[in-house]
Amino acid sequence: MAFLLGLTGSIGMGKSTTAKLFAEMGLDVWDADAAVHRLYSKGGAAVAPLAALFPDALSDGAIDRGALKRIIAADPGALKRIEGVVHPLVGEDRERFKANASSDIIVFDIPLIFETGGERRMDAVATVSVDAETQERRVLERGTMTREQFELIRSKQVPDAIKREKSDYVIITDTMDHARQQVQDVIADIRRKLAHA
């Protein structure tokens, strides 16, 4: 029975980089965002049901995320209908991954784990965190959004302090070496607990 570790963190906290560190240590890592991307791509399981609900979202046989954003902006009720289609499919993707994973600890990279109650399906949760100034600098340096867009996204996420409080592990991503050491410590701690279970 593999140990299920949820990995989360607000925008700009270094979650994707931390997920790669877990993968480098030989753990199987499932990525919720990548799962959604697969579902929206040509031939993906979400394409037909979403296109039936929102024909304007279909583009070249795939679901256009930009079009979905515009639909949600125009119709606040659209998000619930989209989630009604996508969440069960994401759950199926996650279960398939779990069934085929081979590592003793499986990492589930889920940005909205606390927002969606996903922590209840995990044996433990690790939150990646960094100070607010570094977080903002990282996001704005990407050049993909304005400070206002960043603030809006951050306002919709469970605050970092609450995520840290609700988590079993906190990984501070101030430097790569520090993050890598903490990832090793988390894995070692879980394996110690598994050995004594």
The DSSP code sequence of 80-137 is HHHHHHHHHHHHHHHHHHHHH--SSEEEEE-TTTTTTTGGGGSSEEEEEE--HHHHHH
Q: Is residue 110 located within the same domain as residue 187?
A: yes
**What pLDDT shows up at residue 54?**
95
pTM: 0.90
Q: Is residue 79 located within the same domain as residue 156?
A: no
Distance CA 6, CA 50 (A): 28
Q: Write the CATH number for 20.
A: 3.40.50.300
Q: Is residue 84 located within the same domain as residue 65?
A: yes
Q: Is residue 70 located within the same domain as residue 158?
A: no
Q: Is residue 87 located within the same domain as residue 161?
A: no
Q: Is residue 196 part of a domain?
A: no
**Angle (CA) 84 86 87, round 5°:** 75
**What pLDDT shows up at residue 116?**
87
pLDDT tens-digit profile of 84-114? 999 999 999 999 999 999 999 999 999 989 9
- 55 burial level (CB within 10 Å; 0-12, 13-18, 19+): exposed
Distance CA 9, CA 11 (A): 7
Q: Is residue 112 located within the same domain as residue 185?
A: yes
Q: Is residue 197 part of a domain?
A: no
Which residues span the domain enclosing 45? 30-102
Structural domains in the chain (count): 2
H, E, C per residue of 28-51:
EEEEHHHHHHHHHCCCCCCHHHHH
Q: pLDDT tens, position by position, for the chain (197 residues)?
A: 899 999 999 999 999 999 999 999 999 999 999 999 999 999 999 999 999 999 999 999 999 999 998 999 899 899 999 999 999 999 999 999 999 999 999 999 999 899 889 999 999 999 999 999 999 999 999 999 899 999 988 888 899 999 999 999 999 999 999 999 999 999 999 999 999 97
Q: Is residue 16 part of a domain?
A: yes
Residues 101, 26 contacting (CB under 8 angstroms): no
Q: Interhelix angle for 147-156 vs 132-141, to 10°? A: 130
Percent of the chain at pLDDT exceeding 90:
89
